[in-house]
Amino acid sequence: MAAHAKMWGELRPWESPELTSWRRLPMHAVDRVPGSLSLDGPWRFQLLPAPTAEPTGAWTRLEVPGPWTTQDTGDVPWYTNARMPWPQYPPHTPADNPTGVHEREFTVPEAWAGRRIVLRVGAAESVLLAEVDGRPVGIAKDSHLASEFDISHAVRPGATGTVRLTVVKWSDASHIEDQDQWWHGGITRPVLLYATDPLHLADVRITAPADGRLRVDVQVRSADGALPAGWRVSAHLDGVGELAVDEEYAAWCAEEARVSDFLGETRLRLAVPGVRTWSAETPELYGLTVTLHRPDGTTADTSHHRVGFRTVAVVGRDLLINGERVFIRGVNRHDFHPLTGRTVTPAEMRADLETIKRFGFNAVRASHYPNDPALLDLADELGLYLVDEANIESHDHAHEIADDPRYLAAFTDRVARMALRDKNHPSVVIWSLGNESDYGANHDAAAGWLRRYDPTRPLQYEGAAKTGWASPEVASDIVCPMYASLDEIVAHATSGEQIKPLILCEYSHAMGNSNGTLADHWAAIETTPGLQGGFIWEFWDHGILQRLSDGRPAGRGGVGAYAHGVAAEGHRWAYGGDFGDTPNDGVFCADGVVFPDRTPKPALYEHRELAAPVRLSREPDGSVRLTNAQHFRDLSWLTAEWRLSLEDAGTRTAPATLPAALPPGESARLALPAELVDRLPADGGEAWLTLRVTTRGDEPWAPRGTEVCTPQIRLRERPAPWAVTASGPAVPAATVDAQGLLRHPLLTSPPVLSLWRAPTDNDVLGGAADHWRALGLDRLTREPRSVDRDGARTLVRSAYPTAAGTVEHLQVFTPLPDGGLLVEETADLPEGLTDAARVGTVFETVCGLDHMEWYGQGPWETYPDRCAGGPVGHHSARVDRLFTPYLRPQESGGRHGVRGFSLLSADADGGLAVRLDRPRQVSVTRYRAADLTAATHHDELVPRPRCVVHLDAAHRGLGTAACGPDTLPRYRLGAGTYRWAWTLHRR
């Protein structure tokens, strides 16, 4: 190894931007996995302190693929967002540079004698140095694309050899891989060997527009450079037939071959009658087999592909798929797993995409690098529009690198290799030049190559809009801003200056309890020409399972140590800083719509309803109109059931008949279920009619009966004014003590005013939490003013001093004839008290009340600016399951629009009932706001045996201010008078 270490040291590829590869083969789109020899599994491994250090005899075992940072090697994950984890400027690296040496034996099959043998490494972070039997075979960079090396000269069929893969963690390339994610090190995608004849299919390029005119361009190459005569290429499209040689192109090739015997290209064509087009809703695929024939007619090589016929175009302000303007309901996705870091299996990728499809998304942005090829195959099959993004992000040094000629080759190489690999996937509808890397000559160079190579797709780059959204910048066909406010995007679309589609590449940052105003965004997008959607940031919470005993990643041994978003005892979800990684950006990596175990967060249900393929609306004459909100599909794949929810009489169901043949975009009147509506009681509270829509049969992404959406209409409003009803047995009379505090047998803590919530991540990073603390809302103290009797009523006046003035609070307690209690409250917030967290009541119950039943929105968590996905109805859950375990404890578990609820004992033979004057925000958990505020992880929380109950007259919206706009003004709480009332009964 010493001589080779010296050679690597002389090349110094870890600090040479000009050296993107050495002996690496060109990228191509021929699938070589069938018939290959997998080298995945246990490898010998040792971690060196620097790339110039010599390996010793101290080998350990390491699973490949898999980053060494999750496998107890001593080097652990490190999280930063924008800044690099070390101070050196590009292209330099730190002296402490972990270097992993991976080594194993392999035996080349005897049947491969005389064939070309290729070593393929799926991905390595960040510089790969490959050797076989001590002979260097290549160098490669780009942590998210495969590298292939011809090792025919270094191996003998039938013999056993040794492959050594040395991976250097930090390099000049790390400066353009500065994405918002954990830093790892190692080999993260599969390693294999494959063999071909010396003369082989070098590449296949498929052009399949929606009109069915298929074109297949094939490159044939020879290992020794010469292309002998007599060889030919054929192609067959399953169910259609053979492709014909393009004679005009063949004549051109023949002319060129007169001056070069190296030209090995052919073009085949076929017009497909009655073609079935591909879209995210109808992912129709045809099998294509390309075959290389020897002169004697035998097969030398084959390549199998799945073809989707579709056309992508930008026309004016619209992105069109097959000529239709489609809404892009997207989500950003990283390669992530809580046990194995950046290594994800095809089964896990499928589970990701199935979840994405089930919750109404039709698009994925591969943030911020090309994903594993298996994911693109799945997107083709399941139906998702992909933004394929080059592995370029220079966040910390963006301005310098964008125009740095030393990085020019890296920019163009990464963009070109992405397109060369992924060009045949119908799911890829947009190319992206990368992310958060400013804008400069290097982008223009990469864009120029890409436009010439593939004019069939638009390309985008957010940084190109730095000169303005209406600028005709050359490097982006789409205006794709990040976290623009709703006012900004609407103003642009209505300005008369817009010239390109506006599709937000990132919006609605899903950090903690977030995604507020999502419904407001989509109401504007669906009604404003020029706005076409966007991509939520992001799919995953990047929490890594950590063993509390030693603070290390749990690795593959942590399987089963989590469920329903919660890490099991002895473990926790780690975020930045938990592994001693300094500097770090803390919990900013926990910003997904699913928890680290892929459990959906409540915000996903919000998105599912906003993306519903079926919409209901009430006509002026009382009839119901149903709309097919899809772009390409009728409703025959769906079935439905009516659910009538009565405030005072439970839920009833009846079958529903959908107009199966209703075309996309069309509407039809829908008959109301007479068996439900005709029997609607003349008196009583609200009545809501819900259409529960499910899959009629098995879909590729969901089994039969999967809930798709629950559109709802209100048949009858709650009577007004609010009437206090008396029900239930009498209870011992409540008392009000001399301090004006209610003493009640069902409560262990009396109802008092609450203006504070445990800050969400948005509250912390957006500044609201500091504002509330400055006002003193987190340490609110009650000062009794007076206790007055007015017949049976008791009037209690209290004061709550804040830095902005005193909040005056009035409580009126009135016993009810049945032994219940009516509580009427008023709070006057002074002029200086702006933007409070909540205005309402908090109290604690007796122990043993473990189950909640309520009528209102649910069953999952909802908040004032995130409640479109919670249908009104009767819901129930265990109190312990009402709380949402966001990675950093914070305000959670709220239910919006609650009309009334009961807290019951386990055997349901006792408890309390609360009825509210109008729909209010309610939360019932085992934690006080102070408990949640003090904790940094869930293993620090100790559930209380009692229920902590919040009844809010008003509750501030969530917004997305951790990265993006705060909640809209109408969801904020200003100064003024707030009134609310509620009753308390024994159940």
- Residue 723's contacts (CB-CB under 8 Å, 6 or more residues apart) are none
Which tokens go with 373? Answer: 């090829």
606 assigned to active site:
no
- 922-945: buried (b, 16+ CB within 10 Å) or exposed (e) per residue? bbbbbbbbebbbebebbbebeeee
619: Cβ contacts below 8 Å, ≥ 6 apart = 625, 669
Residue holding tokens 């405030």?
647
Nearest to 720 by CA among 898, 918, 914: 918
Q: Return d(Cα 407, Cα 17) in angstroms, integer.
A: 6
Strand-strand pairing, 385-389 and 428-432: parallel
DSSP-assigned states of every residue in 599-655: PBPHHHHHHHHHT-SEEEEE-TTS-EEEEE--SS--STTEEEEEEEEETTTEEEEEE
Token representation of residue 270: 């076929």
3-state helix, strand, coil in the chain (%, to 5): 20, 40, 45
> Do residues 110 and 60 lie in contact, with contact meaning Cβ atoms separated by under 8 Å?
no
According to DSSP, the residues that pair with 303 across neighbouring strands are 290
Given 15, 436, 473, 824, which residue is catalytic?
A: 436
- How far lies 5's CA from each of 2, 9, 51, 128, 249, in Å? 5, 6, 8, 13, 49
665-693 burial: b if 16+ Cβ within 10 Å, else e: eeeeebebbeebbeeeeeeebbbbbbbbb
CB 36 within 8 A of CB 192: yes
Distance CA 753, CA 811 (A): 10
Helices (H), 235-332: 247-257
- Degrees to nearest 5, angle at CA 888 with 887 and 893: 80
In whole angstroms, what separates CA 310 from the centre of its chain? Answer: 25
Calculate the CA 137 to chain-centre distance. Answer: 38
Rounded Cα distance between 545 and 543, Å, is 6
Residue 379 has φ and ψ, to the nearest 5°, of -65, -40
Whether 436 is a known active-site residue: answer: yes
- What is the rounded CA–CA span in Å between residue 616 and residue 793? 46
The residue among 829, 730, 838, 750 whose CA lies nearest residue 794 is 750
Point out the catalytic residue in the list 131, 177, 265, 506. 506
Question: Taking each helix axis from N to C terminus, what angle separates 373-382 and 346-358, rounded to the nearest 10 degrees?
Answer: 40
CA dihedral 741, 745, 746, 750 (to 10 degrees): 10
Q: E strands within 142-180?
A: 147-150, 160-168
Sorted by sequence, the CB contacts under 8 Å of residue 159 that are 6+ apart come out as: 107, 108
Which two three-digit tokens encode residue 429? 């509808």
- Whether residue 982 contacts residue 915, with contact meaning beta carbons closer than 8 Å, is answered with yes
In this structure, how many other beta carbons lie within 10 angstroms of the beta carbon of residue 499?
12
- How many Å separate Cα 599 from the centre of its chain? 12
For residue 431, CA distances in Å to 314, 423, 690, 807, 863 come to 13, 10, 40, 55, 36
Amino acid symbol at 830: P
Known catalytic residues? 436, 506
